[in-house]
């Protein structure tokens, strides 16, 4: 049957409506989440919230100053450790996957990376517990960072690979053809060309890890108080936003529930801020 122009136009219109609909369905959940989090948590945001430590539940119940400064700082420390560990290793693995496809270790790396990516986050916490917490004899921010690094690592490796693969192969050959060693070609021509993709991949990995509570339960453990020194955050139990959000939410105190919503605002703001900063830092020079 030959379709008339009118029929084709109607089909075109239907497709367009479907696409717009699915776009809305993608955006809507995020907007609902942001709305609920902000409405419920806003009242708990105060000056003290950013300057005081949490302490015991009685503080909140009796209206004494209480806040999440120890959680905010702890999150920064633990996430930074994770980034410092996962970014170089993940980039290296991604470069291996993309630039040395013929290497003997490559198939093994690919299988292992995908397995690690599919592994439940709670198990990664358990691995960090066995590797770091047991030998050190204490829960620590460092152990939490290692656990989160396991979450980030496979994502960074995979996104790095696809970002580098999107750069035409001739760019590499052109670099080699002017007598540059292979590592220099990768570092100075291929990777800068893929900068936006690399950063986006890092951000996806970071956002994923920053929201994980499960791997931290028995690694960084959590803490109601600010350690006396900075080193206490690295070598002792430390609080983080996703985990604190969880403990506040399951606590029996309505005052803490409100603080939990406020912690969610912080976590969202933290991730959005990171995205904004990274976007600004990688904006095209040209």
Partner 1 sequence: MTQKETFTAPLSLENTFQGKKRVKSDKIRMETRNLTVHYGETVGIRDISMKIYNQQVTALIGPSGCGKTTFLRTLNRMHDLTRIARVSGDVLLDGEEIYGPDVNPVLIRRRVGMVFQKPTTFPTMSIFDNVVAGLKLVGIRNKSLLNEVCERSLRQAALFDEVKDRLKDPGVSLSGGQQQRLSIARALAVDPEVLLMDEPTSSLDPQATSKIEELIHALKESVTIIVITHNLQQAARVSDQTAFFYVGNLVEIGETREIFTNPKQERTEEYITGRFG
Q: Which residues bind partner 1 (CB under 8 A)?
A: 102, 170-181, 184, 188-189, 192-193, 195, 285-286
Which C-beta is closer to partner 1: that of 14 or that of 108? Answer: 108
CA distances from 131 to 85, 109, 134, 157, 219 (A): 15, 21, 7, 22, 10
Asked whether the beta carbons of 52 and 262 are under 8 A apart, the reply is no
Between 47 and 280, CB nearer to partner 1: 280
d(CA 141, CA 52): 20
Nearer Cβ to partner 1, position 100 or 235?
A: 100
Q: How far is the CB of 223 from partner 1 (least distance, A)?
A: 44
Nearer to partner 1, 19 or 174 (CB): 174
E strands within the chain? Answer: none
Compute the least distance from the CB of residue 184 to partner 1, in Å. Answer: 6
Residue pair 210/79 in contact by the 8 Å Cβ criterion: yes
Cβ proximity to partner 1: between 67 and 175 the closer is 175
Nearest to 148 by CA among 70, 85, 199, 76: 85
Minimum CB distance to partner 1, residue 251 (Å): 51
Shortest Å, Cβ 205 to partner 1? 23
Q: How far is the CB of 103 from partner 1 (least distance, A)?
A: 9
Q: Which residue has the tokens 């002792």?
A: 236
């Amino acid at each position: 049957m030959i379709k008339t122009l009118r029929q084709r136009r109607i089909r075109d219109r239907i497709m367009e409506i479907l696409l717009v609909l699915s776009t809305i369905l993608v955006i809507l959940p995020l907007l609902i989440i942001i709305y609920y989090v902000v409405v419920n948590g806003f009242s708990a945001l105060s000056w003290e919230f950013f300057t005081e430590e949490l302490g015991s539940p009685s503080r909140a119940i009796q209206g004494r100053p209480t806040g999440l400064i120890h959680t905010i700082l702890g999150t920064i420390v633990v996430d930074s450790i994770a980034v410092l560990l996962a970014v170089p290793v993940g980039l290296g693995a991604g470069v291996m996957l993309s630039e040395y496809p013929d290497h003997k270790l490559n198939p093994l790396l690919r299988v292992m990376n995908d397995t690690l990516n599919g592994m439940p986050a709670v198990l990664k916490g358990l691995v960090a517990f066995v590797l770091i917490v047991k030998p050190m004899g204490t829960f620590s921010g460092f152990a939490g960072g290692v656990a989160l690094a396991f979450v980030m690592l496979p994502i960074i490796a995979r996104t790095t690979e696809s970002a580098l693969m999107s750069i035409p192969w001739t760019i590499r050959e052109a670099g080699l053809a002017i007598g540059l060693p292979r590592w220099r070609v990768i570092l100075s021509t291929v990777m800068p060309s893929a900068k936006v993709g690399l950063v986006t991949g890092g951000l996806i990995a970071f956002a994923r890890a920053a929201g994980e509570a499960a791997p931290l339960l028995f690694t960084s453990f959590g803490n109601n108080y600010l350690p006396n020194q900075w080193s206490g955050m690295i070598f002792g139990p430390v609080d983080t936003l996703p985990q604190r959000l969880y403990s506040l939410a399951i606590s029996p105190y309505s005052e803490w529930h409100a603080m939990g919503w406020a912690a969610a605002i912080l976590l969202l703001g933290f991730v959005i801020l990171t995205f904004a900063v990274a976007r600004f830092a990688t904006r095209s020079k040209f």
